[in-house]
Structure 1
């Protein structure tokens, strides 16, 4: 594993455990097997590390949110399943991106906010394909309900987040939730 990757992985753990402001560069370096100042050979500081974690998460999530299947319902199922599996695999990272967005500073904050809008727009497009008669407000509500359910996994007790077949359960739950809008 290269050092930058190791620093990012350890930062995600520490930011999860202690928060962004509760984690020092020296502590991050020590846990990564480096001196605190050695971190600066890889990143300009904690702000860039946090922004890089957000960027990596957004890269994968935006890629997965692009439509790939002609059938709207199948594509939506794929989208939900990918995001549930991401939230399970990267619980600490998802938790950090939910909690620490207030710690992002410009120019990273603006970039992340633009990317989030793009991401939510992709989700709204996927939901709108499944709900062609829904109003924009209903699409927004359905989208936020799906995203809130999926990303809440980062806060669940570990035992619950490891429930066998969890992705299948969440896919079914979100599909049945969309049925409320289908009337």
Structure 2
């Protein structure tokens, strides 16, 4: 889920990062070497190290921008919503689409975040906490009886549902999966 350049073309760095994320998601952090990433991306070792200092920097380069994107996009959707119910629908639509488009990033986050050094891991966790709080705010506005700690539990449960995309087979088409994920998550949040 790296951002493309403004002219629509992807940078070589972004292409390499996408290859690395896919390999990490499929084989795990320790199951992939820098040489294998370079080979899969079609670059030599020196070219690979021109863009990244190592596997840790690749994981950080994948997860920090994603966390920043989730936070800023959620804030935009909430700001543009007429009321809390509309904001919740916008958040659900956004996160379900993100999850369906980025199962490898979700897998990377679930399995490899703790491999990062303290500083990038703390930054990602900080951004994630802020993202959760955006959902908590909408939920507590929508459900006045809901205390913030309970809303936080529901938000995390919602992410569990929506972020299940790496584990869902393709037996159903994408639109049907999106519809089911949105409905299940909304029902969990409003029950």
Shared fold, TM over 0.5: yes
CA contact (8 A) 2:162 2:185 kept: no
Q: CA RMSD in A?
A: 1.6
1:105 is matched with which residue? 117
What displacement does 1:102 show? 1.6
The Cα of 1:95 is off from its aligned counterpart by: 1.2
CA offset at residue 70 of structure 1?
A: 2.5
The count of aligned residue pairs is 179
Greater than 2 Å deviation, 4+ residue runs:
162-179
* Displacement after TM superposition at 1:140 (Å): 1.6
Secondary structure at the aligned position of 1:116 is classed as: helix
Could you tell me which residue of structure 2 aligns to residue 81 of structure 1? Answer: 93
State whether residues 64 and 120 of structure 2, in contact with CA within 8 Å, keep that contact through their aligned partners in structure 1. no
Considering Cα pairs closer than 8 Å and 6+ residues apart, tell me whether 1 or 2 has the greater RCO: 1
Gaps of at least 5 residues in structure 1 are none
Q: What is the correspondence of 1:1-183 to structure 2 with a 5 Å cutoff?
A: 1-66=10-75, 67=78, 68-160=80-172, 162-180=173-191
Mean CA deviation greater in 123-132 or 14-23: 123-132
Residues 147, 24 of structure 1: alpha-carbon distance in 2 compared, 3 angstrom cutoff: same
Question: What SS is found at the alignment partner of 2:60?
Answer: helix
Q: CA deviation at 1:63?
A: 1.7
